[in-house]
C-alpha cells in the first residue's frame, strides 16, 4: 500500500504569546495547507491561567489538531498520546471525506451505526501504522520555560522511540522560539532519529518574548519548502487518500 | 494528566442520570462513577439485566477501537480475556453526541489493594492467573499493552485476576497504542515499543515490582542496574530470577514465564513431579522392567550416600590435621 505523508507541528509552550501575529490565525493558515497543529501546554503545579488555556485550545482547534494541558513530569507520555491522537484524527478526517463522497451526509463515522464503524477504524489504524509522518517540533524557550527544557528533551527522545516502533517512516525537525536573530531558530534539520537532539538543547539561549504566531508561520514555511518540491509530483493533502489505498 | 474540557463535563454525571442509546434504544441508569482516565469515564450503570460498566468518551475513535478489541476477544472466548462486551451506542444529549460501550462489570479491588489487604502470598497465584490470560491474548494475535495494577481487578471469591481497559491493546507487530511509563520497557531504556509478547511480560515484571514499591519510583539510569537491586532487597527476592528474565526479554511466551514462577513457588514438588512423570514414561515404555529400574535407583542413592560420607570423612580428617 502506498501512503502519503502526514505533516504535524507539535507546539510545546507554557502560556501566552505576546508578540506578532495572532497564533490562532497562523494555525488556521497551517491547516489550510494540510498541516496539523497540536499544542501541549506545560503547566506549573496548580497554576492554570485562563488566558493561556484559551489560546492553547484555540490554536489546536484552528490548526485541526489536538491540545493537552499537562504538568511537566507527565510530559513524555502526553507527547506520544497527543501525536498519536492527532494522527488518528487527521487520518480519520481523510477517511471521512471519502465516506462523504460515497455515502453523502455529513461524512463522519458517527453517521454510521456502531456496527459499521469497526472496519473503518481498522483502516484508520492500519494507515496510522504505515503512513509516512513528518513532525516539526516547535519549542517555546522563553524564560519561564527554561527549567522545563530538560524534561522537554526527554519527552522528545521518548516520542522518537514511540514513533520509530511504527512500520511507517518518520522525519523529525526541531525549532525553538524566540530565536537569537530570527523569530524561530532551527535546532535540528529533518532526520529520522531524534537522538542527536541531546547536544543542541544544551546550547539554547532563552529569551524574554513569546512570539508564538510568527513562530508558527515560520514553521509552516519550512514544510512549504519541502512541499513545493513534492508538489511537483502533485502530492497534496486532498489527494492523500486516493494515493494511499 | 489533566482532562480536556469536553471530557470533564462527561465526568460529572449525577446518580440517576438516564442514558438511552440512539441506535439500539437500550436504557442505562447511572449508579456511580467507577473511574476515569485519558480515554474516557467509566460508570457503574443499572440495565434491564442487572449491573454493568459503561465507558464513554469524547473521542469516538477510541471507543470504536476498544470495541474492536473486545469483539475479537469474545470471538474466541470461553475463558474471559477481557470484560465481555454488551452494547455499543451513542448518547445524544445537550446538542452533542457521545459514543459509549457497555461491558460486564468486574467487581473487586485492583491488584495492589487486594495484595495490601490479603498479603503478599497472593502475588504468585495472581500472576500465574494473569499469565494464563496473557497467553490467550497473545495466541489471539494481540499484545495487551497498558498493563498496570489499576487495569487488573481481582474478582471472586475465589479470587481471580481479570484484565480491564483494552485501550492499549495492539495487534502484534505494530507500535504499542497506549502505555504507562512505569510499566513500559521503552521508558526504562530496555527495548522498543513494538508490540510483541515480551513487551507484556516486561510489564508483568514491573507490576510485580510495583507490589513491593506501591509508590513506584522514577528512572535513575534505568536498566537492570537500577531495577534488580530493588527486587533483591524486597519481598520479591525469591522471584529475582523470573523478574530479571522478564525484564531482559528472556521469556518468549507467557507460558514460559509461568512455568518459571511455578518453579519458584513449588520447587520440591516440581522436581518430584518431573521424576514421577519420568518414571511413568519408563514404565509404559519398558513395562515390567520398571521394577528393576526402581532398584537401580535405590542402588544409585546408596552410592551417592557412600561418596558423600567419604568426602565428609576426608574433610574432617583434613580439618583435624
Ligand atoms: N469493566 C469494568 N468493571 C469494573 N470497573 C471498571 C471496568 N472498566 C473500567 N473500570 C474502572 O474504571 C477505571 C477507568 O477505566 P479505564 O482504565 O478503562 O479508563 P481509561 O480512560 O482507559 O484509563 P487510562 O488512562 O488508565 O487508560 C478503571 O481503572 C477501573 O477502576
Ligand atoms: Mg486506558
- In chain B, what is the greatest distance between 2 CA atoms, to the nearest angstrom? 97
Q: Number of helices (H) and strands (E), helices first, in chain A?
A: 8, 6
Domain ranges of chain B: 5-103, 111-285
What is the pLDDT at residue B152?
96
pLDDT > 90 fraction of chain B, expressed in percent and rounded: 63
How many Cβ atoms from other residues are within 10 Å of residue A89's Cβ? 17
Measured between beta carbons, the chain B residues lying within 8 angstroms of A83 are: none
Is B141:B171 a contact under the CB 8 Å cutoff? yes
CA distances from B304 to B44, B267, B278, B298, B314 (A): 64, 22, 20, 10, 15
State the pLDDT at residue B127: 96
Ligand 2 center from residue B164 Cα (angstroms):
9
- A:7-66 residues touching chain B, CB 8 A cutoff: 43, 57
Tell me: pLDDT of B108 over 90.
yes
Q: Which of A72, A74, A78, A165 to mutate to test the interface with B (most CBs of B within 10 A)?
A: A165
Cα angle, residue B138 at apex, residues B137 and B139 outer, rounded to 5°: 95
CA distance A123 to chain B (A): 11
Choosing among B64, B65, B70, B192, which should be mutated to test the A contact, i.e. which has the most A CBs within 10 A?
B64
Residue with cell 493561556: A52
Of B18-22, B266-270, B274-278, B285-289, give the range with the top mean pLDDT.
Answer: B18-22
Residue B44 near ligand 1, beta carbon < 6 Å: no
B40 lines ligand 1 (CB under 6 A): yes
Contact between A114 and B88 using a beta-carbon 8 Å cutoff: yes
Q: State residue B2's pLDDT score.
A: 45
pTM for this predicted structure: 0.79
pLDDT for the residue numbered B248: 96
Cα angle for residues B171, B172, B174 (degrees, 5° grid): 75
Nearest CA to ligand 1 atom 29: B150
Q: Which domain holds residue A148?
A: 5-189+196-206
B54 lines ligand 1 (CB under 6 A): no
Q: Which of B82, B165, B169 to mutate to test the pocket of ligand 1 (most atoms within 8 A of CB)?
A: B165
Nearest-CA residue for ligand 1 atom 13 is B35
Span A79-122, pLDDT tens digits = 878 887 887 777 777 777 776 666 666 667 777 888 888 888 88
Segment B30-55 shows an average pLDDT of 92
- Which of B38, B60, B193 lies at the smallest CB-CB distance from A81? B38
B62 lines ligand 1 (CB under 6 A): no
The answer, yes or no, to whether any atom of ligand 1 lies below 6 A from the CB of B34, is yes
Residues of chain B positioned with their CB less than 8 A from the CB of A124:
61
Question: Which numbered atom of ligand 1 lies nearest the CA of B150?
Answer: 29
pLDDT of res. A241: 40
CA nearest B161: which of B198, B114, B206, B197?
B114
> What CATH number should be reported for the domain holding residue A156?
3.40.50.410
Which chain A residues have a beta carbon less than 8 Å from that of B186? 158, 161-162, 165
Is there an atom of ligand 1 within 6 Å of B112 CB?
A: no
CATH 1.10.510.10 fits B111-285, yes or no: yes
Domain total for chain A?
Answer: 1
A106 phi and psi angles, rounded to 5 deg: -80, -10
Which residues contact residue A65 at a Cβ distance below 8 angstroms, ignoring those fewer than 6 apart? A8, A9, A27, A36, A37, A38, A39, A59, A86, A89
For residue A140, give the H/E element and its range: strand A132-140
Higher pLDDT, A60 or B307: A60
**Residue A178 pLDDT class (50, 70, 90 cuts):** confident
B6 touches A at CB < 8 Å: no
Interface touch A81/B68, C-beta < 8 Å: no
| Residue nearest to ligand 1 atom 24, measured at CA | B37
Ligand 1 pocket member B208 (CB < 6 A): no
Q: Who has greater pLDDT, B145 or A15?
A: B145
> Does B61 contact A77 at a Cβ distance shorter than 8 Å?
no
CB A210 within 8 A of CB A17: yes
* Calpha distance A229→B210 (Å, rounded): 51
> Does the interface ipTM go beyond 0.90?
no
pLDDT at B79: 59
**Inter-chain residue contact B59 with A113, CB threshold 8 Å:** no
Q: What CATH number should be reported for the domain whose range is B5-103?
A: 3.30.200.20
Query: What are A181-207's pLDDT values in tens digits?
Result: 778 888 888 888 887 776 677 666 666
Residues in B closer than 8 angstroms to A127, CB to CB, are none
Q: How many CA atoms lie within 13 A of B180 on its CB side?
A: 21
Average pLDDT, chain B: 84
CA distance B5 to B10: 9
Summarised one tens digit per residue, pLDDT across range B124-169 is 999 999 999 999 999 999 999 999 999 999 998 899 999 999 999 9
Interchain contact, B99 vs A110, CB within 8 Å? yes
Look at residue A240 in the predicted model and tell me its pLDDT: 42
- Per-residue pLDDT tens digits for A141-165: 887 788 888 888 888 888 888 888 8
pLDDT of the residue at B291: 42
What are the cell numbers at A185? 531558530
- Interface check for A193 against chain B (CB to CB < 8 A): the answer is no
Half-sphere exposure at residue B262, Cβ-oriented, CA atoms within 13 angstroms: 15
The highest-confidence range among A69-73, A148-152, B242-246, by mean pLDDT, is B242-246
Strand order in the sheet with A170-177: A67-71, A35-43, A5-13, A132-140, A170-177, A185-191
Across A221-237, average pLDDT:
51
Amino acid at each position: 500500500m502506498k501512503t502519503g505523508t502526514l505533516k504535524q507541528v507539535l507546539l510545546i509552550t507554557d502560556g501566552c504569546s505576546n508578540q506578532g501575529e495572532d497564533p490562532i490565525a497562523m494555525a488556521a493558515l497551517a491547516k489550510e495547507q494540510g498541516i496539523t497543529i497540536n499544542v501541549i501546554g506545560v503547566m506549573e503545579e496548580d497554576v492554570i491561567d485562563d488566558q493561556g488555556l484559551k489560546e492553547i485550545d484555540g490554536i489546536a482547534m484552528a490548526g485541526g489538531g489536538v491540545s493537552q494541558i499537562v504538568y511537566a513530569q507527565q510530559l513524555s507520555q502526553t507527547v506520544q498520546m497527543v501525536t498519536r491522537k492527532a494522527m488518528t484524527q487527521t487520518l480519520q478526517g481523510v477517511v471521512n471525506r471519502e465516506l462523504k463522497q460515497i455515502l453523502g451526509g455529513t461524512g463522519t463515522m458517527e453517521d454510521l451505526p456502531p456496527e459499521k464503524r469497526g472496519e473503518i477504524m481498522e483502516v484508520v489504524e492500519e494507515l496510522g501504522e504505515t503512513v509516512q509522518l513528518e513532525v516539526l517540533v516547535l519549542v517555546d524557550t522563553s524564560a519561564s520555560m527554561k527549567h522545563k527544557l530538560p524534561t522537554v528533551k526527554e519527552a522528545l527522545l521518548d516520542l522518537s522511540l514511540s514513533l520509530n516502533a511504527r512500520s511507517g517512516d518518520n522525519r523529525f525537525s526541531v525549532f525553538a522560539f524566540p530565536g537569537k536573530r530570527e523569530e524561530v531558530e532551527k535546532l535540528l534539520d529533518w532526520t529520522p532519529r531524534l537522538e542527536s537532539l541531546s547536544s543542541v538543547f544544551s546550547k539554547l539561549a532563552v529569551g524574554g518574548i513569546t512570539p508564538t504566531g510568527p513562530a508558527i508561520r515560520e514553521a509552516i514555511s519550512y514544510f512549504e519548502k519541502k512541499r513545493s518540491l513534492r508538489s511537483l509530483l502533485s502530492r497534496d493533502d486532498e489527494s492523500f487518500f486516493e494515493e494511499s489505498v | 494528566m489533566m482532562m480536556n474540557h469536553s471530557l470533564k463535563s462527561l465526568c460529572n454525571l449525577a446518580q440517576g442520570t438516564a442514558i438511552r442509546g440512539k441506535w439500539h434504544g437500550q436504557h442505562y441508569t447511572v449508579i456511580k462513577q467507577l473511574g476515569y482516565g485519558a480515554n474516557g469515564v467509566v460508570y457503574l450503570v443499572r440495565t434491564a439485566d442487572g449491573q454493568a460498566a459503561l465507558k464513554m468518551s469524547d473521542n469516538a475513535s477510541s471507543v470504536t477501537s476498544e470495541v474492536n478489541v473486545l469483539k475479537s476477544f469474545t470471538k474466541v472466548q470461553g475463558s474471559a480475556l477481557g470484560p465481555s462486551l454488551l452494547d455499543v451506542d451513542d448518547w445524544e444529549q445537550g446538542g452533542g453526541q457521545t459514543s459509549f460501550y457497555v461491558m460486564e462489570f468486574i467487581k473487586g479491588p485492583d491488584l495492589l489493594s487486594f495484595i495490601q489487604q490479603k498479603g503478599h502470598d497472593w502475588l504468585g497465584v495472581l500472576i500465574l492467573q494473569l499469565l494464563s490470560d496473557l497467553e490467550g491474548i497473545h495466541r489471539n494475535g494481540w499484545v495487551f499493552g497498558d498493563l498496570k495494577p489499576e487495569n487488573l481487578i481481582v474478582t471472586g471469591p475465589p479470587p481471580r485476576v481479570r484484565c480491564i481497559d483494552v485501550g492499549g491493546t495492539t495487534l502484534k507487530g505494530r507500535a504499542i497504542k497506549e502505555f504507562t511509563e512505569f510499566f513500559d520497557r521503552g521508558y526504562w531504556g530496555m527495548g522498543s515499543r513494538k508490540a510483541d509478547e515480551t513487551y507484556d511480560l516486561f510489564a508483568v515484571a514491573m507490576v510485580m515490582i510495583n507490589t513491593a514499591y506501591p509508590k513506584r519510583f522514577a528512572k535513575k539510569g534505568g536498566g537492570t542496574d537500577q531495577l534488580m537491586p530493588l527486587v533483591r532487597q524486597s519481598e520479591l527476592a525469591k522471584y529475582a530470577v523470573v523478574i530479571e528474565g522478564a525484564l531482559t526479554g528472556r521469556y518468549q511466551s507467557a507460558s514460559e514465564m509461568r512455568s518459571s514462577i511455578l518453579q519458584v513457588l513449588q520447587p520440591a514438588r516440581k522436581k518430584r513431579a518431573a521424576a514421577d512423570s519420568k518414571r511413568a514414561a519408563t514404565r509404559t515404555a519398558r513395562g515390567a522392567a520398571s521394577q528393576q529400574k526402581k532398584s537401580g535407583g535405590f542402588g544409585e542413592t546408596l552410592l551417592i550416600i557412600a561418596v558423600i560420607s567419604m568426602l565428609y570423612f576426608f574433610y574432617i580428617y583434613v580439618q583435624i590435621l
